[in-house]
Amino acid sequence: MMASSDWIEVQRLAAEFQRTQLSSTLQKLSEKNCIEIVSKLIELKLIDVFYTNDGKEYITLEQLSKEICDELYLHGGRISLTELVPILNISYHAIESRAQNISQTKSEIHLVSGQLIDDDHLDRIAEEINENLQQSGQITVVELSKQYELPMEFVLQLIRSRLGTVIQGQQDKHDHHVFFTEGFLARNRARIRGALSAITVPTSVSTIIAQNKLPERLFFAFADELINTKRIQASLSGGRQVNVATFIPEIHSRSQNEWIDNFLKQNGYLEYAALTRLGLGDPKSFCRKRFKDTSLLYLSSCCVGSNILGQIEAAIEEAISSQSWVEVLPLLPSVFDDEDAEQIIQHVLKTSQNIPDKDALVIGQSAVTSNSFVQNLKIIFKPMIEEKASEVVASGDYLQSLADQRNAKGKSFKPEQANEKKDRKEERRKKANEGKLGGGTQGRETKTRATKKKYGKGKNDSDDENEGDVVGTNSASLELEFMSIDEISNVLKKQENVSDAPDEFVEDIAARLYPSLQASFQEAARLAFEAMLSSTSGQRRQTHSELQDRLQLLLQNIKQGEKAIQFFTSLDVQQQLCRHLLKTSGSELVNELVSYVSQDTSVASDSKDLSPEARQKIISGLPQNVRVPLQGLHKATQGANVEEFISETEVALSACDVVLRKVDKKKDKAIPSQQRHLLIEQLNAAKDAALVLHVAVLLLFHTVTQTVLNASGRFVPQIITFLQSHLSPSTAELLSTLQGLVIQELTSKGDEELLETIRQKMEDLIPRVRETAVTFKKSATQD
């Protein structure tokens, strides 16, 4: 029992407690003071607490950690941090910091993606995963990650840590995110083994998987295992891609390889297209792997063995040694194309020790010959080159070509010359007048030598030196062509050693020969031209003298012709006759002078045949100091002013250093009789009535006026009109009658009976007209 003294003490304390409770507080802290005191303690880091969201309470870290763990337990071992915010009435930041502390201090609790998960919950998840794995046979981390809303790496770590204990299965060696059961692997291994054992022909892996509904991720692993253990006699080609890989049974590969080996042995080549038809996806790679110890040439469409290469090498070697040619494509099997033939030729020429690579010449893609063969063909054209070179020099075509080239070089200077032409015209006339004062044999010879120097090659002319910068292709395009490529081909086709060659081969040879033949022709023409100049250089002085005589005669004829034209009163007739005079005698004079200056005696001898266009081309190629005067003279022949022509002639003669001799009075007096004699000869030789009438009226005109009229047949009516006042009525009537018959003959074509009558009448009149013209005397007009 309690002692009495103890009881008394208890009673005393109780009374004191009651008294204290009933007494009023003398000092009391306000709520504000309490808050300030707590804040100060927190600031001094004497206490560590969190405010609640409403700010009315404080909670310590230990208490918050305890309450978080309590809520985690109440929620089955998994709770989101966001769910704890309303439950604990604490900020997310405070909860997150304590959650991190909890996961670090307690190994059984994990903070994953804003969630707290304990090991008990993970064990339950592992048990569910194991149940699903046993039911389906395989699971993937991707599916589990979606199902449990957990990171893939966390799920993978979860499974690995419990694999063999809670989870019964194994991980895929090729894909670590896939897990299988032993039963699932065994079932699919058996299915794949059965499917592959039944296949006897090459089959794509995609077809095998689709038809047998096999798991794609297991197929290659089991197929490799079965092949490596020799359980399945086959191979996989195309890598480990389902859409590319092909399963090839060994029985098919064996028969396929036997066929390929036999074909190559018998035919000496393998066609890629044929191997593709056998089921080979990459024939070239297969051949390189299959025949890595065999020497094969891999082409674009096939590969070739040494037998065919040896045959081609022998054929090429024989063609080159015999200086012949060979077409390679017909020697190859039909599957080879031009590109294959070209590659074989290049390979043979590169690797052969018996064929000199420098002498071999590939024509086109599939023909081979030698350079010696081509050079021998060139010899065929040597006589033709010499013959044509002589022809172009003799005909003046070579000189014309040179003139065209010089013309092309001087075109850039023509505008300036045209601007200065009028200013120089008067100066040229003064020089011409001064030149008339010179004379003497020695003086003429000196001027002849100067002409040679200036016009022989044109090197000393000052203006030519300014024409040095010319594009070379212009001169090349103006060169004379020996033969075109087609013409060369036609000549080659007539040769026995090329007659059976393809047209492409002959054309290629012709194209190769063309530049050298052209160069040889130009050289031959140059030598022939120089030889011609050399042979005529000794006769140059005589040529100059003959030129003076011809020019003197032509100039006198023109002056007499102008005097004869003055007898006509009609200005229109005079103008027409002047134009005709300049186009005939004037053009002949210009041709003589141009031909002499251009140093081409062959042209000079046939100078009357130069057309105005040809004459203009030659003039354009001459040096400037003679080109401008001759162009003025050439232009004067196109007009009707004889005085202007004579003036331009004097200027041109002076510029060309040609001095005419003084007129011989004795010879000048003999000219009328010579002209009359020439007209009589022409009259006696004429057979046609129109020509007889033409020459007769010219002879009568000469008798009446003592001048020679240069007129064509269309001026006969005007001449007869002029002569009527100087002829007897009977003579005038005779000429008029014959003129009428000539006109009737021209207008009565088609009426043979009438024509016969007209011709009979003309034959009767022709002797009378001849006799009248020859025997006519000027005094007869008085009868």
**What is the model's pLDDT at position 536?**
58
CA proximity to 587, closest of 554, 544, 559: 554
User: Do residues 681 and 772 touch, judged by C-beta distance below 8 A?
Assistant: no
618 and 599 both lie in a single domain: yes
Residues 730 and 659 in one domain: no
CB 336 within 8 A of CB 302: yes
Please check whether residues 627 and 726 belong to one and the same domain.
no
* CA-angle at 65, arms to 118 and 58, nearest 5°: 155
The upper half-sphere exposure of residue 765, i.e. CA atoms within 13 Å in the direction of its Cβ, equals: 25
Per DSSP, the residues of 638-651 read TSS-HHHHHHHHHH
Beta strands (DSSP E) in 319-458 are 325-327, 360-363, 367-370
User: Same domain for 572 and 603?
Assistant: yes
583 with 653, same domain: the answer is yes
Residue 152 lies in a domain: no
Sheet of 302-304, strands arranged across = 269-271, 302-304, 297-298
Q: In what order do the strands lie in the sheet with 234-237?
A: 203-204, 246-249, 234-237
Query: How high is the pLDDT of residue 357?
Result: 61
For residues 646 and 674, membership in a common domain is answered with no
Q: Is there a single domain that holds both residue 659 and residue 673?
A: no
Asked if residue 671 belongs to a domain, the reply is yes
What are residue 89's phi and psi, to 5 degrees?
Answer: 60, 40
Residue 513, class by beta-carbon neighbours within 10 Å (0-12 exposed, 13-18 middle, 19+ buried)? Answer: buried
The pair of three-digit structure tokens given for residue 609, joined into one six-digit string:
């045949």
Q: Residue 72 is part of which domain span?
A: 33-106
The number of domains in the chain is 5
- Whether residue 694 is contained in a domain is answered as yes
Looking at residue 32, its pLDDT comes to 67
- Looking at the chain, how many residues does it have? 783
Q: Is residue 259 part of a domain?
A: no
**Is the model's pTM score more than 0.75?**
no
Beta bridge partners of 112: 115
d(CA 747, CA 533): 53
Q: Is residue 470 part of a domain?
A: no
Measured over all CA atoms, what is the biggest interatomic distance in the chain, rounded to whole angstroms? 218
Three-state DSSP class for 59? Answer: strand
Q: What is the pLDDT of residue 714?
A: 85
The pLDDT assigned to 173 comes to: 75
End position of a domain, from candidates 611, 637, 663 = 663
Of 345, 365, 385, the residue at which a domain comes to its end is: 365
Please report, as a single letter, which amino acid is at residue 297.
L
Residues 651 and 686 in one domain: no
The pLDDT of residue 664: 64
Q: What angle do CA 639, 644, 650 make, to 5 degrees?
A: 125
Note whether 365 and 339 are within 8 A (CB).
Answer: yes
10-residue stretch averages of pLDDT, the chain, 783 residues long: 68 75 60 68 72 75 85 86 86 86 87 87 86 82 86 86 82 78 76 79 79 74 79 76 77 80 87 83 84 84 87 83 82 85 84 72 80 81 85 79 70 46 47 39 34 36 41 56 84 78 82 86 83 62 70 83 86 88 85 76 48 84 83 85 86 79 67 80 83 85 85 86 85 84 79 81 84 74 41
Question: What integer pLDDT is reported at residue 537 of this predicted model?
Answer: 54
Phi/psi for 611 (5° steps) reads -80, 160
My answer on whether 669 and 765 are in the same domain is: yes
196, 241: one domain: yes
**How far apart, in Å, do the first and last CA atoms of the chain sit?**
217
Position 204 scores a pLDDT of 79
Domain final residue pick, 64, 80, 106: 106
Task: Judge whether 493 lies within some domain.
Answer: no
Give the pLDDT score at 461: 41
Edge-to-edge order in the sheet of strand 367-370: 325-327, 367-370, 360-363
C-alpha distance from residue 423 to each of 1, 111, 419, 426, 712 (Å) = 168, 112, 8, 7, 37
Q: Give the 3-state secondary structure of residue 230.
A: coil
d(CA 193, CA 185) in angstroms, rounded, equals: 12
CA distance 600 to 596: 7
The answer to whether position 73 is within a domain reads yes
- Contact status, residue 310 vs residue 355, Cβ threshold 8 Å: no
In one letter, which amino acid is 598? S
Q: Residue 60: enclosing H or E segment and its boundaries?
A: strand 58-60
Rounded to whole angstroms, what are the CA distances from 274 to 253, 280, 284?
A: 15, 9, 12
Residues 606 and 630 in one domain: yes
Per DSSP, the residues of 666-720 read HHHHHHHHHHHHHHHHHHHH--SHHHHHHHHHHHHHHHHHSS-----GGGHHHHH
Element (H, E) at 204: strand 203-204
Q: How distant, in Å, are the alpha carbons of 135, 254, 256, 268 from that of 263?
A: 56, 14, 11, 7
Half-sphere CA count of 210, side-chain side, radius 13 A: 7
The span from the CA of 194 to the CA of 186, in Å, is 12
Q: Do 678 and 743 have their domain in common?
A: yes
Give the Cα separation of 9 and 15 in Å (integer).
10
Structural domain contains residue 460 = no
Amino acid identity, position 689? A
Q: Which pLDDT belongs to residue 440?
A: 35
Amino acid letter, residue 156: L
CA quadruple 630, 631, 633, 637: dihedral sign: positive
Q: What single-letter DSSP state applies at residue 586?
A: I
Pairing state between β 178-180 and 170-171? antiparallel
